[in-house]
Chain A
Amino acid sequence: MSPGNSELEPDFELFVGRCSRSLLRTAFLLTGDYGHAEDLLQLTLLRTARRWPAARASPDAYARRVLINLSRDRRRDAGRRVRESPLTDAYPEDASGAVDVIVERDALLSALRALPARQREVVVLRFYADLSVAETARAMGSSAGTVKSYTARALARLKQLLANPTPTLSQPRRGLT
């Protein structure tokens, strides 16, 4: 699968079918923006496709690591750009959804967005992707101790944020937080 050749390996196509949904959702939780999440997913899969011989042994872990790195790059870039007004409906909203579900989801996503970046990564990887401490540490490129420490702080902060939710969606912010 060299650049300039559009053929994808059959097992890579299977991997995309199996993992793209979970990767997109992870990217959305990390970035808080559907457009960014879709971009991240595409870039992640593209990089994985280019390194498929190396990634084939453990494609999920490889793609997750790429996704985390790309989301960090994007955050760094966004910090240097002009201010963004976040979208109030950052991903396609289902109008038929019950109001309380939407409110609950909004509160959770706002709280998640209010966490520092590394703490958010830990929460997403451990509690959305259901990774162990060791797997999370590998995906983040940190030690297990650091992951445990981030987890404890993130959970305490989340608890505090969800107990006293503050509307953050309409506040302008610098790039992505």
Chain B
Amino acid sequence: MTPNDDQLHQLSASLKKAVDDIEPPADLLARLRAQLANAETPAARRNRLHIRRGPTAGLRALPALFGVVITVAIAGVALTALSHHHRATPTTPPASTSSAPPYIAPTDPAMKYVTKLHWSAAACNARPPRRVSRPMISHAVPSKLLAILSVLRRPATPADKLPASYTGPMPIERVIYTNYIRRARIYKRTSYYLIPGIVTRGSGVSARCAAALQAELGRRLPEIPQHLRTHARQVLADLIAEARYDSQPHQALCVAEFGPGGGSGTCGATAAKILQRGVLGGLVGDPNIVTGVVPDGVATVVLRYRTKRGPDSVTLTTTHPVENVFIAHVPRNRSRFPSTIVWLSAQGTVIKTIQ
């Protein structure tokens, strides 16, 4: 039966009513300008794709090719000579590109033994970090963070300014790069700001405290399963290294939320840590939302939640970061934080799997 005109009008009105509160972002034009400014020129694209036009294009590449061949040959000869001279010298592993200590997952089986140690014992009672009453404003460039977060590279807009009524905690104690504060997302009237700064966390672990913790772990070894003992020592060493790393001033990202329900913030993700595992958090007062910051190149984030049906049964939530920030719903009856996070590139290849 064909619908009559009234029904069609009603459908049209219902469709319009269903979406009448959807508004485009206020900074749409600014975003378009930023994207156009960063867009690749046709010439650059041709170069990247190695497209050469004209019959002599191959010939024009010959001198460069010849140069490459000679360079490779000289390098080969030099390496052969060096290997003869230093045959007895053991090879050293390449230096790590990241100075951050390795990440230890909270689910690591050794963690429950290491966290039981008396981190607050007398030997570890260091002075609390000196708090600076007001952070200093810097007009410098947070180059390490800028290199991995495109949201910080886009031009600032008036919307990026922290609201004057923001009274929530300002997580940065030392320096704020004021020109690089960006409002990355708005969700349920809560604005999600990224604030680069220089941050120190904790007071580190003194040599005396580290020795006390290692001795305590040694005494508790009989409680730890045989196969985890060596690993537990390594986890303790890594945690101490992490605490010492965090206590030094680093360029780090702070995430601050500000909405009708108030404000909150967390701090301390250095560029190395963001590349290692991103930043994971949630919205204030909403346990069903998980948020996070990912570095450039991550086009899709897959959050894997375990279900109670068995070890292999999982629920997946897929989300796409916008301006380096993703916001996703936690599946019903799951804790906010997923068991595994997978970063995918725009081509669908796996960049990283974070346990």
Contacts and interface: CB of A to CB of B under 8 A. Distances in A.
A, B in one complex: yes
Interface residues of A, number: 60
A42 B319 CA distance: 17
A108 B15 contact: yes
Contacts of A1: 36
A20 to B, nearest CB: 4
B21 A3 contact: no
B315 interface: yes
Interface in A56-107: 77, 80-85, 87-89, 91-94, 101, 104-105
A61 B335 CA distance: 46
Interface in B168-207: 187-189
Interface string B313-353: 00111111010000111011000000000001000100000
A164 interface: no
A109 B21 CA distance: 14
B302 interface: yes
B318 A82 contact: yes
B322 A84 contact: no
Given A85-B331, A159-B3, A25 B36 contact: no
Given A152-B2, A158-B11, A82 B302 contact: yes
A88 to B, nearest CB: 7
Interface residues of B, number: 51
A177 B273 CA distance: 36
B23 A83 contact: no
Q: Which residue of A20, A88, A101 has the most chain B CB atoms within 10 A of its CB atom?
A: A20
A8 B322 contact: no
B26 to A, nearest CB: 11
A49 B29 CA distance: 11
B317 A28 contact: no
Contact of B36 (A24, A49, A101): A49
Contacts of B317: 84-85
A42 B31 CA distance: 8
Contacts of A123: 11, 15
Nearest to A46: B35
Contacts of A38: 24-25, 322
Contacts of A28: 19, 22
B315 A127 contact: no
Interface string B34-53: 11110111100000000000
A34 interface: yes
A37 B34 CA distance: 19
Contacts of B24: 20-21, 24, 38, 41
Interface string A1-32: 11111111000010010001100110011000
A123 B7 CA distance: 13
A19 to B, nearest CB: 10
A128 to B, nearest CB: 4
Interface of A: 1-8, 13, 16, 20-21, 24-25, 28-29, 34-39, 41-42, 45-46, 49-50, 77, 80-85, 87-89, 91-94, 101, 104-105, 108-109, 112, 123-124, 127-128, 130, 152, 155-156, 158-159, 170, 172
- The 6 lowest CB-CB distance pairs between A and B, nearest first, are A6-B37, A3-B39, A25-B19, A6-B33, A20-B24, A128-B15
